[in-house]
Amino acid sequence: MAALDAARLEQALLATQKPDETEARRKQADKFIENGLKNPRSCEALINLLNATPPKPEEIRIVCAVMLRKNLKEYFKAVPDRTPTVMSWVLTAVMKDPARAVRRNLGDCVAATAQYIMDDLEPSQPWPALLETIRAAVNHERV
């Protein structure tokens, strides 16, 4: 199964969110997303949607963050050289997203990443930026 691209993923996510879409169209979009997420590299499309400028609708970003959390471990295993980049990105994203609900779900991505590091990686790969970000978040007015 090929990895999802951000544009097609966004269209499918929008179709699942629209009340005026037919049930058949929503099921088709759900199936497309489900099949696409079987490829761990589809996490890159989720990250691209979360990083988009201008930002995608909040509902889309929430769903992307939830899907990302559920698929991060497989992504890290499939593309281990991208782990440090994603570690940095989730910390930045959780601090910069303007929507509290999105930040909360991105916080779950941070937790999933930390759990992966603790459970599946060598102890030699620390994540010092995690503590620095937590300290900054405690003092941040939006959190």
Check residues 107 and 18 and name the one with the higher pLDDT: 107
Mean pLDDT of all residues in 12-34? 87
What mean pLDDT is reported for the chain?
Answer: 88
Gyration radius from the chain CA atoms: 16
Rounded Cα–Cα distance for residues 15 and 66 (Å): 17
Q: pLDDT tens-digit profile of 60-116?
A: 999 999 999 999 999 999 998 988 899 889 988 988 999 999 999 999 999 999 888
Residue 90, CB-side half-sphere exposure with 13 Å CA sphere: 29
